[in-house]
Structure formats: structure tokens, C-alpha cells
Amino acid sequence: MYRRRRRAYFVMMGICLVLFVSAWAFVRLWSMPAAIAMCVVAMVIPPVAAMVANRKGPEDRWWDDPTATPPRPHVRLDKGEATGDPESDAWWDELDGKKRRP
């Protein structure tokens, strides 16, 4: 999958370079608006190429560790319950003027 994304990125960037160089090398001699339009199209290609190259596929595991357990959802503090993070709980208790018993 990585190979296909990398190939797509380089193809798109190659098209971008060809459009830009050909627009100002010889297309401008025949039509200045066409050369400008080619440059505008070439300007849009790099962000699209970056999105294609960095897209996460269904079988890719980039940001998540398969061995890690999912984090517990935090509970709202206004209910008086702990969030599960002792440091955060102590900080909120200090702000609220409470003292948490260990």
C-alpha cells in the first residue's frame, strides 16, 4: 500500500513539474492565458498529492499501537467522580478547593 501511495505522489508531482515548466517554456509563446491556467492547475496539485500520499488505508496501522488498550473515557467532574488520571484529579480537586483522600 505504501508503494502505491508513494508512486501516486511522485506521478502527481511529476505532472505538476511538467505543467509548470511547459507553461513557461513554450505554451506562453502561443497563449498567455493557457500558460497561466496551467500554472494554476500545477499550483493545486502539490496539496492534493500530499493528501494522497498521507492517506491512511484500512490495513495501515500508523498512529495506533495494536498492543495498547484503549483509554477509558473521562467522566465529567461536575458529577464528583474521578477521571481515572490521579494527577488530573488532584489538579481539579485543588482548583475546586477539595482534598482527595488517597
pLDDT digits (tens, 9 = 90+) for 47-77: 999 998 888 766 666 556 555 555 555 554 5
What proportion of the chain, given as a percentage, has pLDDT over 90? 43
The pTM score is 0.55
pLDDT at 91: 77
Q: At residue 96, what are phi and psi to the nearest 5 degrees?
A: -80, -10
Coil, strand, or helix at residue 63? coil
Q: Distance (Å, rounded) from C-alpha 41 to C-alpha 20?
A: 9
Q: Please report the pLDDT score of residue 22 as a whole number.
A: 95
